[in-house]
Amino acid sequence: MDGELLTFILGQTFGIFALICTVVSMQLKKKHSLMILQTASEAFIVAQYIVTNAITGSFMAMVSFVRDVIFTKYGKHRAPLWILIVIYIIMTILTISSWNGPISLLPYVGSLIYAWTLWYGKTKWIRLGNAVGNTPYLIYTALTGNYALFIMTFLEVASSAIGFYRLEVRRQKKRTSKSKR
C-alpha cells in the first residue's frame, strides 16, 4: 500500500471516530457528558488534520481540544472571561502563523463562534453555536479533502439542530401548552 493511500485511510478513520463522538454528544442532556465526548472528538479531529496536512485546521482543533478540557473542568460554572480571551488570542496567532490564504479564516471564524457558546455554557446555546460555528468548517473540510470530517461536520450540524429541537424547542412547547391549561 502506498503512503498516500495509507494517509488517506488513516485520516478518514480518525474522522469517523470524531464523527461518532460528536453525533452522540449533541444528543446528550448533561453538559459534562456532552463536553467529554466533544473533547474526544477534538482529539480525533487534531489527528485527522495533522495526517492530512491541514495545518490551520489542526491548530484550531488543538486549541479547541485544550479549550474543551478547560471548560469541562469548570463543569456547571462558566470559566473566567480571561480564559476565553486567551483562547481567542491563541487562535488568532495560530491562524496568522499558519496563513494559507482566505481558506484559513474558515476554521478560525468557526472556532471563535463555538468557543464563545461553550464558554457561555448553556447546552441550548452550545447546540445552536455548534450548528452555526461548523458551517465554515463544512467548506474548509471539503476544500482540504477531509471527507470524513465533511460528513461528520454535516451530521454534527444536523445532530445539533435535531438536539436543539428535541431538547429545547419541544420542551419549551410543552411548557407553554401546560401553562395555557
In this prediction, residue 1 carries a pLDDT of 66
The DSSP-derived string for 58-121 is HHHHHHHHHHHHHHHHTTTSPPPHHHHHHHHHHHHHHHHHT--SGGGHHHHHHHHHHHHHHHH-
Distance of alpha carbon 36 from its chain centroid, rounded? 12
In this prediction, residue 86 carries a pLDDT of 95
In terms of residue numbers, what domain contains 113? 3-180
Digitized pLDDT (tens) for each residue of the chain, 181 residues in all: 688 888 888 988 998 898 889 888 878 888 888 889 989 998 998 998 888 888 877 888 898 889 888 988 887 788 999 999 999 999 999 899 988 899 989 989 998 998 998 898 788 888 888 888 988 988 988 898 878 778 878 988 888 888 888 887 877 777 777 777 6
In this prediction, residue 181 carries a pLDDT of 62
Q: How far apart are CA 87 and CA 28, in angstroms?
A: 25
Task: Count CB atoms within 10 A of the CB of residue 109.
Answer: 18
Number of domains in the chain: 1
